[in-house]
């Protein structure tokens, strides 16, 4: 295509609204434009990338035995009420009423819709297994959309739903999807890792997230340095300490700690490391207030806590509650003598000896407090975030930390939805059975954005061959008849050879074209000008390496074929 026929509004300057590199480059290279917070128009170039990713997804989903369909964006409240998610999903679910005052929502995911389809249309075990997928716009009214396509409110997602006769079949489908995801992200040229994950609002029994490793990722991943263990921090289990400390217990005493409210203030003032402190955090569930004890250098994992408490919402208690429960202002809560609320201790706590805790009194802490002797808890369990240096829960090394972008998520759902919506089939004995389900998502736009995070330099995007909007950027840099003629012939030859070519036919200077080409990031640039033509050659520049070669027009097709074969077989990291 010719540049003059496409809207490619490249920007010289960095847009003020963008923070991370993929967002900046998507705006600068003219891929997307914002319409509202978290809502974007895909411009021609951006759409081409999206379509490439979709195509790869389609091929791999079809290969894995899934079938494509398309469900509606709007769905009636009744289906959501059946599973309870009309209430449970919260404000992220964008609701509205139609002209008849009937409740609807914009689909943030489609378990209800597909399960409804299944129960209406599928009756027999003979029809199973089934796996349906769609690539469709989702809407989630995110609290804080950010980073362009990384976290939009409206976004493209591939979602798939499998139905099986039993657990074993479901596991097989899960594995097929898991393998398909590996192929998809590999083909997209991404460096990624599958990690164990929490199931969140989708629910179900187990899940894996596919994480693109990038410093700008919003997720924290822990992985063992020697083994195969890898998990989202939300999920990563923490082993209890192997051996408790056994220093002799010293007598507990009270010390003044004026204005020392935070861990940092207390450790600095008392000159002790944070791991000698026990933090007492008060959480409100709406129904009750509970105390959570974790070591000073550990962080409470609120997902683990919610599961223990069996609630979906918790928040740190406000100053008024803290004062009511501890009879001290915020910052001095401690477990010694704490009464009237349930106390949960992380399992690192009982192993400690002679620790510092809050004194439940203004400007006061207790030192040399000891488990059992001075304080205890109603339950002791894993309540904290794993962190770098912890032993792997699979006993296969020490944990390390990385940041990741969640581009895909596969879930074993079990019968959560089939049960709630009575999605059953008849087995060979004529008995009614619940379908065992799985669901599998891929963020299409996020995958494209992740690719930019991993493939760019200071000049712009460096697209992996498989998802580049165009493979060849044809750049005539002289105004002569000779160059025009050679460019036209090359363009036609390249198209005939099957390349997707962007022909910069603008009357701009060479520098402008070179800079835009580097920004847009097609894998290969073909420069045609009087200088080279005088020697009978054009110039081929490989965007990633920057290597330029002089090639005769008759050799260009085989030359680019060779380069693109290499690009396909070895997606760069």
Which positions touch RNA (CB under 7 A)?
10-17, 19, 34, 36-38, 90, 92, 109, 138, 140, 142-147, 151-152, 155, 157, 198, 200-202, 209, 218, 302-303, 312, 314-315, 406, 408-409, 441-443, 446, 459, 477-479, 509-512, 514-516, 518-519, 527-533, 539, 541
Q: Cα–Cα distance between 111 and 93 in angstroms, integer?
A: 14
Pairing mode of beta strands 379-381, 432-434? unpaired
What lies within 8 Å, CB to CB, of 554 at 6+ separation is: none
Distances (CA, A) of 310 to 34, 197, 287: 39, 18, 12
Cis check for the bond before 129: say yes or no (omega within 30 of 0). Answer: yes
Q: How far is the CB of 146 from RNA (least distance, A)?
A: 4
Q: How far is the CB of 396 from RNA (least distance, A)?
A: 26
Q: How far is the CB of 93 from RNA (least distance, A)?
A: 11
Distances (CA, A) of 336 to 43, 274, 299, 375, 520: 62, 19, 21, 5, 62
Query: Minimal CA–CA distance to 191: which of 526, 541, 454?
Result: 454
Q: Cα–Cα distance between 176 and 227 in angstroms, integer?
A: 23
Q: How far is the CB of 441 from RNA (least distance, A)?
A: 4
Q: How far is the CB of 143 from RNA (least distance, A)?
A: 4
Complex with RNA: residue 388 or 547, whichever CB lies closer: 547
Q: Cα–Cα distance between 70 and 350 in angstroms, integer?
A: 54
Complex with RNA: residue 240 or 536, whichever CB lies closer: 536
DSSP-derived letter for residue 137 is E
Complex with RNA: residue 176 or 473, whichever CB lies closer: 473
CB 383 within 8 A of CB 300: yes
Complex with RNA: residue 157 or 277, whichever CB lies closer: 157
Complex with RNA: residue 193 or 354, whichever CB lies closer: 193
Q: Cα–Cα distance between 87 and 526 in angstroms, integer?
A: 57
Complex with RNA: residue 116 or 209, whichever CB lies closer: 209
Cis check for the bond before 497: say yes or no (omega within 30 of 0). Answer: no
Complex with RNA: residue 37 or 398, whichever CB lies closer: 37
Q: How far is the CB of 6 from RNA (least distance, A)?
A: 15
Complex with RNA: residue 147 or 465, whichever CB lies closer: 147
Q: Cα–Cα distance between 415 and 177 in angstroms, integer?
A: 18
CB 530 within 8 A of CB 517: no
Query: Minimal CA–CA distance to 64: which of 152, 129, 147?
Result: 129
Q: How far is the CB of 355 from RNA (least distance, A)?
A: 25
Q: How far is the CB of 546 from RNA (least distance, A)?
A: 8
SS3 54: helix
SS3 73: coil
Pairing mode of beta strands 206-213, 192-196? antiparallel
Q: How far is the CB of 350 from RNA (least distance, A)?
A: 26
Q: How far is the CB of 219 from RNA (least distance, A)?
A: 7
DSSP-derived letter for residue 545 is T
Complex with RNA: residue 187 or 409, whichever CB lies closer: 409
SS3 333: coil
Q: How far is the CB of 102 from RNA (least distance, A)?
A: 25
Q: Cα–Cα distance between 568 and 336 in angstroms, integer?
A: 63
Q: Which helix (H) or strand (E) holds 213?
A: strand 206-213
Q: How far is the CB of 272 from RNA (least distance, A)?
A: 25
Phi, psi of 322 (to 5 degrees): -60, -45
Complex with RNA: residue 110 or 165, whichever CB lies closer: 110
Complex with RNA: residue 432 or 458, whichever CB lies closer: 458
SS3 249: coil
CB 325 within 8 A of CB 339: no
Complex with RNA: residue 34 or 394, whichever CB lies closer: 34
């Amino acid at each position: 295509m010719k540049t003059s026929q496409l809207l490619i509004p490249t920007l010289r300057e960095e847009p003020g609204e963008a923070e991370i590199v993929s967002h900046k480059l998507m705006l600068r290279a003219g891929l997307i434009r914002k319409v509202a917070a978290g809502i974007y128009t895909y411009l021609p170039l951006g759409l081409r990338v999206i379509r490439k990713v979709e195509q790869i997804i389609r091929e791999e989903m079809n290969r894995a035995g899934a079938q494509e369909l398309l469900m509606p964006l709007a769905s009636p409240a009744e289906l959501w009420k059946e599973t309870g998610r009309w209430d449970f999903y919260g404000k992220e679910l964008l609701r509205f009423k139609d002209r008849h005052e009937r409740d609807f929502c914009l689909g943030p995911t489609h378990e209800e819709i597909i399960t409804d389809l299944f129960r209406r249309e599928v009756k027999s075990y003979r029809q199973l297994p089934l796996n349906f997928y769609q690539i469709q716009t989702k809407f989630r009214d995110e609290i804080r959309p950010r980073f362009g396509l990384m976290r939009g409110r409206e976004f493209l997602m591939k979602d798939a739903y499998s139905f099986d006769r039993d657990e074993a079949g479901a596991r097989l489908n899960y594995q097929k999807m898991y393998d398909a995801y590996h192929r998809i992200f590999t083909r997209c040229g991404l460096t990624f890792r599958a990690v164990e994950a929490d199931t969140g609002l989708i629910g179900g029994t187990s899940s894996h997230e596919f994480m693109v490793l990038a410093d700008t990722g919003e997720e924290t991943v822990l992985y063992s340095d020697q083994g195969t263990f890898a998990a989202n921090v939300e999920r990563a289990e923490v082993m209890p300490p192997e051996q408790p400390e056994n220093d002799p217990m010293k007598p507990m005493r009270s010390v003044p700690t004026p204005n020392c409210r935070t861990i940092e203030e207390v450790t600095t003032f008392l000159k002790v490391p944070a791991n000698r402190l026990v933090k007492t955090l008060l959480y409100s569930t709406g129904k009750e207030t509970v105390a959570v004890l974790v070591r000073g250098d550990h962080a409470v994992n609120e997902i683990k806590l919610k599961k223990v408490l069996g609630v979906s919402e918790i928040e740190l208690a406000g100053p008024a509650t803290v004062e009511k429960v501890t009879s001290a202002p915020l910052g001095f809560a401690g477990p010694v003598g704490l009464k009237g609320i349930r106390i949960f201790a992380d399992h690192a706590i009982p192993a400690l000896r002679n620790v510092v805790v809050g004194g439940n009194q203004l400007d006061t802490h207790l030192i040399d407090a000891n488990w059992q002797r001075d304080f205890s808890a109603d339950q002791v369990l894993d309540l904290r975030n794993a962190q770098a240096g912890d032993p792997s829960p699979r006993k296969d090394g020490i944990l390390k930390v990385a940041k990741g972008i969640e581009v895909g998520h596969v879930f074993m759902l079990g019968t959560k939805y089939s049960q709630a919506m009575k999605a059953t089939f008849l087995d060979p004995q004529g008995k009614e059975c619940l379908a065992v389900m799985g669901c599998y998502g891929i963020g299409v736009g996020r995958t494209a954005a992740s690719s930019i995070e991993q493939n760019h330099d200071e000049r712009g995007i460096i697209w992996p061959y498989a998802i580049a909007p165009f493979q060849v950027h044809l750049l005539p840099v002289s105004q002569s008849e000779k160059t025009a003629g050679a460019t036209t012939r090359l363009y036609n030859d390249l198209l005939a050879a099957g390349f997707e070519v962007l022909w910069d036919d603008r009357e701009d200077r060479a520098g402008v074209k070179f800079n835009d080409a580097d920004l847009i990031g097609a894998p290969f640039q073909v420069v045609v000008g009087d200088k080279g033509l005088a020697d009978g050659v054009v110039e081929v520049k490989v965007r990633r390496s920057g290597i330029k070669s002089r090639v005769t027009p008759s050799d260009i097709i085989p030359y680019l074929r060779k380069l693109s074969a290499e690009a396909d077989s070895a997606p760069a990291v």
